[in-house]
Amino acid sequence: MLYGIIADVHGNIEALSAVQAFLAERGVDRLICLGDIVGYNADSDACVRLLARPPVLAIAGNHDLIAIGRLGVERCGAKAAFALRRTRSALSADSKRALALLPKRRVIEGEIVLVHGGVADVCQYMVSPAHIEENALLLREREPSGRICFFGHTHVQALYEVEAAVATARPIGERVSLGRARQRFFINPGSVDAARRSEKLADFAVFDSWRQEISFHRVPYDHERAERRAAEEGYRMTWLDTRLGAARGALAHLRPRWR
């Protein structure tokens, strides 16, 4: 099976459309989405319609869970929390129902595990070999057959190999063979949405489960349009929003003294 692997779309239909066009040209058999379908940008409903239902194999990310009220914004930065409050208010009832049906973890083909953040914590950033080693132990406990774990959340393409409980970051080439040995692999395809990066390219990967090969890709998209629409629809903090947020924080700090 030839899979397109995406993560962290965050309501960016411009970036998602560019990725889908590339994958269609490559003739992928199935699309996998590692969560965070909604969030920072203006088209969360459209992205949910495309990704949160079969035949796409999708899981829930922390932004998806926050958008439907299953998680709070306590672990989010100010900009993310602001955009997610807007997402909660704008998201349709149909989209919320679709997101509520998504699992936090999936296993496909017996050995491929899909998570968003960490194996046990959807909000965990796995950004170092130590994080991978910790999660490799959790994977062995919770999904013993899991040999290849795809994850998102960090917005950074990455490939880690785990052997004898030691994780090693491997270089990302045009095509990387995962072999059929006893090693485990943790793979991040990067983020479709590039709003948080200086280089405005949509990241993703293609995985051939027959040949056991992974390739990493980046494509341009209409970032200016995506940003303009996000601002127009109220997903970007303005100078006034920042000042009001600071004022509310100060009042919350002082409130106990007034009681």
Looking at residue 141, its pLDDT comes to 96
Q: For tokens 């040995």, what's the residue?
A: 181
CA–CA separation, 158 vs 172, rounded Å? 7
Q: For tokens 């699309």, what's the residue?
A: 31
Give tens-digit pLDDT for 41-61: 999 999 999 999 999 999 999
pLDDT higher than 90, residue 245? no
Looking at residue 182, its pLDDT comes to 76
Neighbours of 96 (CB within 10 A): 17
**CA angle (45 as vertex; 37, 88 as ends), nearest 5:** 80
CA–CA separation, 85 vs 176, rounded Å? 40
Looking at residue 24, its pLDDT comes to 97
pLDDT higher than 80, residue 241? no
Give tens-digit pLDDT for 164-209: 999 999 999 878 999 766 789 999 999 999 988 889 999 999 999 9
pLDDT higher than 80, residue 135? yes
CA–CA separation, 201 vs 222, rounded Å? 9
Give tens-digit pLDDT for 92-115: 999 999 999 999 999 999 999 999
Q: For tokens 């989010």, what's the residue?
A: 76
- Split at pLDDT 50, 70, 90, the class of 154 is very high
Looking at residue 173, its pLDDT comes to 80
Mean residue pLDDT across the chain: 92
More confident residue, 13 or 256: 13
| Tokens, residue 235 | 């997903």
pLDDT higher than 60, residue 251? no
Amino acid at 198: S
Looking at residue 242, its pLDDT comes to 56
Q: Are 204 and 189 in contact (CB under 8 A)?
A: yes
- Split at pLDDT 50, 70, 90, the class of 257 is very low
